[in-house]
Amino acid sequence: MLVWRASSRSFFFLKYGLERLKGTKKPCFAPNALVSHTENKPQIMSLVVVGSMAFDAIETPFGKSDKIIGGAGTYIAWCASNFTPIKQISVVGGDFPDSELAALTARGVDLEGVQIKKDEKTFFWSGKYHMDMNTRDTLDTQLNVLENFQPVVPESFQDCEFLMLGNLVPAVQRSVIEQLKNRPKLIIMDTMNFWMEIAMEELKKTIALVDLLMVNDSEARQLSGEYSLVKAAKTIMGMGPKYLIIKKGEHGALLFHGEKVFFAPALPLEEVFDPTGAGDTFAGGFIGHLAKTKDISFENMKTAIIVGSAMASFCVEKFGTQRLREINKADIDARLAEFVQLVNFDIDLV
């Protein structure tokens, strides 16, 4: 009888990644832990995040929110700041609360790249979820400050090693890449159907410049024109990115690279309260882990997917960014351990 440990490889990487995550006893956000010393010169690992900062109004089968703080860049920052300091690029109106900006600064988010347009209104998005919570309708998108946003990359952001282009106008995402004097080690881009509908050609120009694209399954189909996700992945990687992540909501996420594929489940949760921002939080956990470990191998990306999935599982537990504001390192470690249990199994082949 051959005993085949079917999952031992993936389990090894998961465990290896988690041990690395657990390697520091510092609190969840510990800037000192992120400083490596080369020839006595401290080197900060620089993660630049670009993305919308917004007001959202959300309706789910379980409740309705007033105008609350949202935006892709906001979710990414709240999540990734658990792993590494962040340099944020975005734009808000005069109506965006100072207290929110102060809360992000206190998390280690450098806001020098966030423009405040005193006389204009912050981007507003409103959405309504269907009963299955996997699908939603956009009820309203008011671009406001995003309409004429021209990002300016501050000089102090030029050390960018990891660039996370959160969901935003594709031309704005591209402008940030073009302003960087040195190409970052890894450029990740997220986008959504909205831009496919109104700016497909611009979107494709930006996609051509990035290393890794993240989209959900329906967006992958829309972008590629293919129903099969495997065929869609090949077509999208043919547009430029060497890596592709396809998010499937409560059904997990797929990572593609050449002929390689990795799948990670989402944590089965008893209650999903509000899925808004889950994709951005996933992105924040994914790039936060890569930036923290400075390792962009496919194997480390597998661990990063698990970290992203664990972080997204917190996000959906409460409305908006609320849950992300509450969690600490112990919560994150416990959730990661649940993932290890979820995917660890042995098979006896007879």
Binding site for ligand AMP (CB under 6 A): 52, 54, 56, 70-72, 125, 141, 167-168, 192, 194, 276-280
What is the four-CA torsion angle of 277, 95, 59, 63, rounded to 10 degrees? 100
Which lies closer to ligand AMP via its Cβ, residue 34 or residue 111?
111
Minimum distance of ligand AMP from residue 324's CB (angstroms): 12
Spatial contact of 157 and 177, defined as CB atoms under 8 Å apart: no
Minimum distance of ligand AMP from residue 73's CB (angstroms): 8
Q: Collect all residues with Cβ–Cβ distance below 8 Å to 255 and sequence separation of at least 6.
A: 243, 244, 245, 261, 262, 263, 264, 298, 301, 302, 305
Spatial contact of 267 and 282, defined as CB atoms under 8 Å apart: no
Q: Collect all residues with Cβ–Cβ distance below 8 Å to 328 and sequence separation of at least 6.
A: 27, 28
Which lies closer to ligand AMP via its Cβ, residue 125 or residue 162?
125
Minimum distance of ligand AMP from residue 10's CB (angstroms): 26
- Please calculate the CA angle 21-27-33 and round it to the nearest 5 degrees: 65
224 vs 111: CA distance, rounded Å: 35
Which lies closer to ligand AMP via its Cβ, residue 45 or residue 312?
312
Which lies closer to ligand AMP via its Cβ, residue 197 or residue 348?
197
Which lies closer to ligand AMP via its Cβ, residue 45 or residue 133?
133
Which lies closer to ligand AMP via its Cβ, residue 74 or residue 300?
74
177 vs 89: CA distance, rounded Å: 12
Which lies closer to ligand AMP via its Cβ, residue 18 or residue 305?
305
Collapsed DSSP state (helix, strand, coil) of residue 211: coil
Spatial contact of 233 and 242, defined as CB atoms under 8 Å apart: no
Minimum distance of ligand AMP from residue 108's CB (angstroms): 21
Minimum distance of ligand AMP from residue 6's CB (angstroms): 32
Minimum distance of ligand AMP from residue 278's CB (angstroms): 6
Spatial contact of 112 and 60, defined as CB atoms under 8 Å apart: no
Minimum distance of ligand AMP from residue 69's CB (angstroms): 8
- The two most distant CA atoms of the chain are separated, in Å, by 74
178 vs 176: CA distance, rounded Å: 5
